[in-house]
């Protein structure tokens, strides 16, 4: 079931990134080369590459691409260009903390290398090394999250998930879907219900595609059918990913996650959030402080290019919502399972 969402080809000076275009799924599997900063910015903004962990890696590689043409012999000038390119990439999608966090680490690495007397070429090589280390780290985190999460799933369990938090949002086996993949390896028989996830249908287009490809029993349902499914007692667990987790345990995820958490609590179904430590934002005190990306009205009024609302009618289209920590049964990351997360428990755990 290996899916290469984003990868680097070549060296730091002349290499490029290769990206799976997720806007073309499920009808077409197409990869393309990204060779400069502007192209990576465009790929991020149009959701060709998406998902918090993958965005962090895309940003780190995009920074290398943005500096390849910087022919300055002066290390200080090179670091200034690094900051400028990093700021542009970080602003491309504001909610997922992995993107600005990865870029901040890259800029700090550039500063340290410059302070140590490294040349611009050596700094660029160090930035590629750091980006590749991040990719390896996120891949290992996916496996660890999968192992911890699979322990919570019994043979025959039915999982309800929202948006896509699988292999397509990472460079590994995913976040929310990692426990499903590991449970499958263990011989457990699982069924997954995937919310279609309006308005961009990431559940129907992406989650269903990758699960079916992996031979996992998956059924797509309209977002507003989730309550009926839970009411019937047909869900063992709700498992979602996250784009940013505040210091108090509040969770930002794809729009529609919050009502799913409320429904899960109403029906006594555990609501699990699976996300790597890179998604935790200690600078963000609570969910209300998380910046929520607002996207184009056309995504709602013309879903998949079909006119679904009268011309000229506006649309409310936040890309994410925030689920209070009190509705989260457990947070699963590469370090383990944290039941009923809150600020005190997160601080002690980390």
| Distance from C-alpha of 122 to C-alpha of 113, rounded to nearest angstrom | 8
| Beta bridge pairs of residue 29 | none
**Distance separating alpha carbons of residues 176 and 225, to the nearest angstrom:** 20
Catalytic option among 195, 223, 243, 281: 243
Rounded distance between C-alpha atoms, residue 11 and residue 299, angstroms:
38
User: H-helix or E-strand containing 80?
Assistant: helix 75-90
Q: Is 320 exposed, middle or buried (0-12, 13-18, 19+ CB in 10 A)?
A: buried
Q: Is 217 among the residues known to form the active site?
A: no
Partners of 161 in beta bridges: 194
Contact 256, 162 (CB under 8 A): yes
Query: Cα–Cα distances in Å, from 153 out to 116, 149, 177, 182, 226?
Result: 49, 7, 12, 10, 20
CA distance 191 to 186: 14
Q: Which residue has the tokens 């200034």?
A: 80
Q: How many CA atoms lie within 13 A of 311 on its CB side?
A: 0
Decide if 244 contacts 277 (C-beta within 8 A): no
DSSP string, 189-213: --EEEEE--TTTTHIIIIIHHHHHH
Q: How far apart are the C-alpha atoms of 217 and 193, rounded to whole Å?
A: 9
What is the pairing mode between strands 237-240 and 271-274? parallel
Q: Tell me the chain's radius of gyration from C-alpha atoms.
A: 20
**What count of Cα atoms within 13 Å lies in the side-chain half-sphere of residue 73?**
0
Active site residues: 243
């Amino acid at each position: 079931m290996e899916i290469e969402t984003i990868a680097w080809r070549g060296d730091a000076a002349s290499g490029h990134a290769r990206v799976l275009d997720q806007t073309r799924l499920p009808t077409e599997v197409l990869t393309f080369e990204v060779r400069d900063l502007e192209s990576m910015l465009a790929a991020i903004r149009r959701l060709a590459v998406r998902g918090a962990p993958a965005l962090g890696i895309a940003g780190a590689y995009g920074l290398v691409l943005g500096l390849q043409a910087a022919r300055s012999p002066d290390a200080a000038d090179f670091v200034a260009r690094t900051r400028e390119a990093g700021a542009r990439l970080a602003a491309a999608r504001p909610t997922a903390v992995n993107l600005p966090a990865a870029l901040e680490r890259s800029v700090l690495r550039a500063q340290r290398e410059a302070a140590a007397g490294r040349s611009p070429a050596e700094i660029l090589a160090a930035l590629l090394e750091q980006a590749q280390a991040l990719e390896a780290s996120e891949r290992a985190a996916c496996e660890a999250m999968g192992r911890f999460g699979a322990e919570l799933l019994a043979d025959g369990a039915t999982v309800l998930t929202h948006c896509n938090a699988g292999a397509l949002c990472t460079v590994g086996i995913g976040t929310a879907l990692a426990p499903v993949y590991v449970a499958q390896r263990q011989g457990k028989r699982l069924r997954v219900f995937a919310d279609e996830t309006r308005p961009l249908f990431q559940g129907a287009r992406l989650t269903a595609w990758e699960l079916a490809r992996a031979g996992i029993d998956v059924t797509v349902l309209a977002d507003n059918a989730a309550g009926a499914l839970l009411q019937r007692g047909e869900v063992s667990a709700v498992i979602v990913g996250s784009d940013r987790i505040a210091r108090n345990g509040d969770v930002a995820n794809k729009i529609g996650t919050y009502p799913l958490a409320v429904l899960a609590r109403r029906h006594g179904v555990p609501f699990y959030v699976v996300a790597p430590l890179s998604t935790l934002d200690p600078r963000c005190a609570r969910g209300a402080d998380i910046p929520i990306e607002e996207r184009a009205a056309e995504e709602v009024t013309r879903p998949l290019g079909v006119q679904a609302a009268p011309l000229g009618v506006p649309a409310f289209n936040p890309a994410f919502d925030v689920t209070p920590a009190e509705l989260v049964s457990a947070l699963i990351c590469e370090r383990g399972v944290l039941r009923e997360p809150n600020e005190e428990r997160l601080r002690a755990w980390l």
